[in-house]
Amino acid sequence: MAERCALLIGTRKGAFVLEGDRRGSTWDVRGPLCEGWPIHDMILDPATGAILAAGGSPWYGASVWRSDDLGTSWTQSSEGLTYGDAESAPRLETIWNLTAAHGALYAGVEPAGLFRSEDGGATWRHVEG
């Protein structure tokens, strides 16, 4: 069996997963995924093999999607992606960057901030500082 590779692509119309051979001569395209939300970053979590997609907009807010089956099905979560419940707390508009490091996931958000997940992206907590 030939080795396969995958490209993870985020667009304004959703996420796309392209699977192809290592030479790049043929590609199978799946998408748009993540219900058509704007997706700004996608990563493969090295600890679990899950695909994570992140994005949002001023209209929708910020959210993360997770797929444990190479993009066939997705679970959406925005639990904890907030600066608080106060009326004066800014609303998160989007996630611009996802990074996996030291057994956790990190999300860079707008307005400027950093959030951390220790459960594969199911819940998030604001990193103070």
Look-up of token digits 């998160």: 92
Across 34-48, 79-93, 96-110, least confident range: 79-93
Over residues 61-81, the pLDDT tens digits come to: 999 999 999 899 999 999 999
What is this structure's pTM?
Answer: 0.90
Confidence of residue 109 (pLDDT cuts 50, 70, 90): very high
Q: Map out the domains of the chain as residue ranges.
A: 4-126
Angstrom distance (rounded) from CA 105 to CA 45: 8
